Structures are given as C-alpha cells and as structure tokens.
Amino acid sequence: MAGDTAHAGTPGCFTGTMHHELTFAGHGIRLLPLAPQHAEHLFGHIDDSLWSGMAARRPDSVEDLAELFAARLADPSALPFTVADGATGALAGTTGLYDVDARLGRAELGGTFFGRPHWGSGMNPASKLLLLQHGFEDLTLSRIAFRVDTRNARSAKALLALGAVYEGTLRAYRPGHDGPRVDAAVFSVLDAEWPMVRARLLARLAARAFPISVAPADAA
C-alpha cells in the first residue's frame, strides 16, 4: 500500500463470524469490517430520502438493518465495510467492494450510504480512494464499476468528477421501492485510468486538509 494509507489483515482471510479481516485507514477515516452489530449505531441515520437510491428495501428497524448486513457478509464475493471517523471512532456509514472476481479482474463499488451529518465531510471520497486503491493495487483488478439509480443526479455528478466513465443505462434494472422499476446508470474506472482518478481524489482531499494516517490500523 502507498504511504498515505495503512491496512491490516490479509485478502482472502475469512473467519466464521466475519467475512474478512481487512481494515484500512487514511484521510480522516477508518474502514472496518462490516458487522451486524453496527446496525445499532447506523440505523438512526436512515430516512426515506437518504435510502431512496439503495437497491435493498429500506430497513424498518435495527433488526432489519442487521439482517441486511448479515446478508452482505454471507456473500462470498463481497468485501463490505463500515466507515468510521478516524478521530472519534463514530460510525458514519457503509461501503464496500461487491461481485469481486479476481479471475476476471473486476468488481463493483457500492453498498454506500452516509448519515447526513457526514455529507460533505470528505468521508465519501476518502472511502472511495481506499477501496479503489485496494482493488487496483492489492487485488490487481482491471475494472471497478459503479451502478447508480438514474434519479440520483448527485452521485452521478460526483462519479464523473472523480474521473469515472459513464458506460450506459440499464433500463428497468431492478424493482423500485415505491412502485415503478428503476433504471441504473453504469460507470467504471479501468486500471489504466486509476492514476488519474487517484490524483483527483487526493487533490480533493488535500483541499479539505485532512490529516494523513500512517499508523497501522487495528483489525476489528
């Protein structure tokens, strides 16, 4: 890993109670292995508007959210994380790499949400930087994709700003939570594009003057 981040654990290291043991730290955040018990801390962040672009049905209780986290952990092709504030340890949201296929060299970055108090804090670009870096530099993937509800113009604009390429729209891709089926816009970053994307993310984070973590992160 590069000197501006730290990680603990080994890719492909799994236990009976945790899908992986990877932990990343840098740019004011820590990525911790997702756990069902994190639902108790994160459920209060969820509302209808915040959850509207998510593929999963909105959880109605802490128990529902814990079940969703357990389902993510049960997926052998997923590396799900909880995002924590690097200074306070407060849990802010979730993200992860999904449909990871090392043989074909591809994955998707998703399952991302942050509580409103953390919007604009830099946690989202910081988590994308850490996950993209892991995907391209540690896992040597060739492609990392993003799928976005076409109604979520804010996320689409952010992906274009970081250098992801719009590939097209999957029409009626999944059932909608409020009736009609939902179209999904697909974006991607290729390994050859990663240096440019990395530079843009670092420049964005530098503008926010986040401290850079170099101390090893503890496995959770």
User: Over 50: is that where the pLDDT of 134 sits?
Assistant: yes
DSSP 89: -
Which architecture, in CATH terms, is 6-207?
3-Layer(aba) Sandwich (3.40)
Specify the pLDDT at position 56: 82
| Residue 209 binned pLDDT confidence (cut-offs 50, 70, 90) | low
Return the minimum-mean-pLDDT range out of 39-43, 65-69, 160-164, 204-208.
Answer: 204-208
Specify the pLDDT at position 5: 53
Return the minimum-mean-pLDDT range out of 165-169, 197-201, 209-213.
Answer: 209-213
User: Over 90: is that where the pLDDT of 94 sits?
Assistant: yes
Cα 109 to Cα 15, 68, 144, distances in angstroms: 23, 17, 7
Specify the pLDDT at position 185: 97
Question: Helix or strand or coil: residue 52?
Answer: coil
User: Over 50: is that where the pLDDT of 18 sits?
Assistant: no
Measure the CA–CA gap between 109 and 147, rounded to whole angstroms.
8
User: Over 60: is that where the pLDDT of 31 sits?
Assistant: yes
Q: Domain segments of the chain: what residues?
A: 6-207
Cα 59 to Cα 41, 52, 55, 64, distances in angstroms: 14, 11, 12, 5
Mean per-residue pLDDT, 32-44 = 96
Measure the CA–CA gap between 193 and 196, rounded to whole angstroms.
6
- The better pLDDT of the pair 120, 141 is held by 141
Torsion of CA 158, 164, 168, 174, to 10 degrees: -60
**Percentage, residues of the chain above pLDDT 90:** 70
DSSP 186: E
Specify the pLDDT at position 8: 53
Mean per-residue pLDDT, 191-212 = 86
Specify the pLDDT at position 58: 87
Q: Which one of 7-11, 154-158, 207-211 scores highest in mean pLDDT?
A: 154-158
How many of the other CB atoms lie within 10 Å of CB of 56?
14
User: Over 50: is that where the pLDDT of 137 sits?
Assistant: yes
| Residue 202 binned pLDDT confidence (cut-offs 50, 70, 90) | very high
Specify the pLDDT at position 57: 84
